Amino acid sequence: MSKATFPKDFLWGGATAAYQCEGAWKEDGKGFAVTDLLTAGTREIPRIFTPEEKENTYYPAKQAIDHYHHYKEDIALFAEMGFKVYRMSISWVRIFPNGDDEIPNQKGLEFYHKIFQECKKYGIEPLVTISHHDVPLALALKQDGWLSRKTISAFVNYCETIFKEYKDEVKYWIVFNEINMMTSYFGDIYTGGILSNGTTHLDIAHASEEALSADKMKKRFKALHHQFVACAKVVEIGHKINEQFKIGSMVAADAHYPYSCNPVNVIAAQKSMRRIWYCADVMVRGEYSYVADSYLMDQGICLTDLDITVEDKAILQAGTIDFLALSYYTSGCHAVDEVHETTAGNFSLGVANPYLKKSDWGWVFDPQGLRWMLNELYGRYNIPLFIAENGLGAVDEIGEDGKIHDPYRMQYLDNHVSAMREALEDGVNLMGYTWWGPIDLISASTGEMKKRYGFIYVDRDNEGNGSLKRIRKDSFYRYQEIIKTNGACVK
Ligand code: BG6
């Protein structure tokens, strides 16, 4: 049998998020997002959320990589790699500084027009994430962010505004980045803006029992329900504004395996996948699935705690998504029969897989897991999939020749492209692939610059020093070749 090739119109590209790259955090009328006020951390030192800007404190989002002023140069470099698509996020607080203002901020609207014009110049299709870790601080302070139903209407108004504004420039949308992040305690800050839960120190791997109490989990799942309702409303409204819109939403979809064939571990792994199904079922199928209640019971709560109304159910049914976007970085194993060393990732992922190697930040490399995950998702939902994030955060050094040689990143890329091709051979319908952080940017979990994902190096360090000069790494040319040959150069 001949090997599957990537579809002719496959959308190759890269993905960024506003608060991790734009900088210019108070410029041109922008308000604060909750995540703007996260201090810098490391793998060992957690980032801290401060409800107001503190003096003598370094906030990486303040300048980030200053994409706000370098966007022309950055998009030109993406074009040089041959990008077909650029996934970026609109910052809600650039458009509505307080989240629910009467009128939008014109300067904010203009900035994204400029981005889309620049993309158009090179034939790059924009893919816009509407909400990527940026709950407006004002809404978090006023009404506990997504815990309040009032945030649904503020968000819908924001979406309607940008849909109308950019209806002729943008076709592809992702409503929520990794919506299932709300099932974890750090979702309070990154995606929920639930300040009453008192979460400030973001130590992703070590959640205290108190942080996971039933009372706090209830607030998170209520907020998540409000996001589902908002997502469905937005899909319906978007299709009315432009019937050509393709509107998706996203889950973090790292793979979960049983550590051994002991049936108790198999069940544990199956259960841990519910963190993905719980969310994707609602967005794709328009209703909570049969496992929802039992999944919630594991968190000490139940569906009736969420105040789901008859009207909500009708809204969920009417606004199912056109495609499912996912992030995939790594995998973890589940063992309940024995104690083993845990693994790291953008969620807690259980036990480290003894067959796999790890990155400098402890995330295991598992390209086969991507193929497995794509099959799990497509088999369950049968709608087009989009890999909205995948990438390797590593320490890069400038060599004596002034260049950055990153064979580890090229290897990671090749292996995942190969896994995608295998998934295509399996019959998965895959629309595109956007590498996370095609240009170095601020790490979400640690706030570091040192954890670099880019094909393009940015001269900036963890303390915010550096010229911001952009330098092409070796992987830049590898991705260029992959796109040019539509994946054929990868064996
Ligand atoms: C995803 C987020 O969870 O992982 C991105 O959507 C994030 O915003 C990416 O940057 C990689 O995680 P990190 O912590 O290495 O930046």
Considering only 2-11, 29-38, 208-217, 221-230, which range has the smallest mean pLDDT?
2-11
- Of residues 210 and 329, the one with the higher pLDDT is 329
pLDDT tens, 178-222?
Answer: 999 999 999 999 999 999 999 999 887 777 888 999 999 999 999
Instruction: Give the residue numbers marked as catalytic.
Output: 178, 389
Lining residues, ligand 1, CB within 6 Å: 17, 20, 177-178, 252, 327, 346, 389, 393, 436, 443-445, 451
pLDDT tens, 38-47?
Answer: 999 998 899 9
pLDDT tens, 146-174?
Answer: 999 999 999 999 999 999 999 999 999 99
Q: Which atom of ligand 1 is nearest to the CA of 252?
A: 3
pLDDT of residue 209: 86
pLDDT at 115 over 80: yes
Distance of CA 104 from the midpoint of ligand 1 (Å): 28
pLDDT of residue 1: 46
Average pLDDT over residues 41-58: 95
DSSP 117-155: HHHHHTTPEEEEEEESS--BHHHHHHH-GGGSTHHHHHH
Which residue, judged by its Cα, is nearest atom 14 of ligand 1?
445
Average pLDDT over residues 392-414: 97
Query: Which of 139, 122, 138, 43 lies closest to 86, judged by CA?
Result: 122
Q: Which atom of ligand 1 is nearest to the CA of 391?
A: 11
Distance of CA 445 from the midpoint of ligand 1 (Å): 7
- Within a 10 A sphere around the Cβ of 231, how many other Cβ atoms? 30
Beta bridge partners of 257: 333
Structure confidence at residue 258 as a pLDDT band (50, 70, 90): very high
In this structure, are residues 299 and 221 in contact, taking their beta carbons and an 8 Å threshold?
yes
Residue 431: its H or E element: strand 430-436
pLDDT at 288 over 90: yes
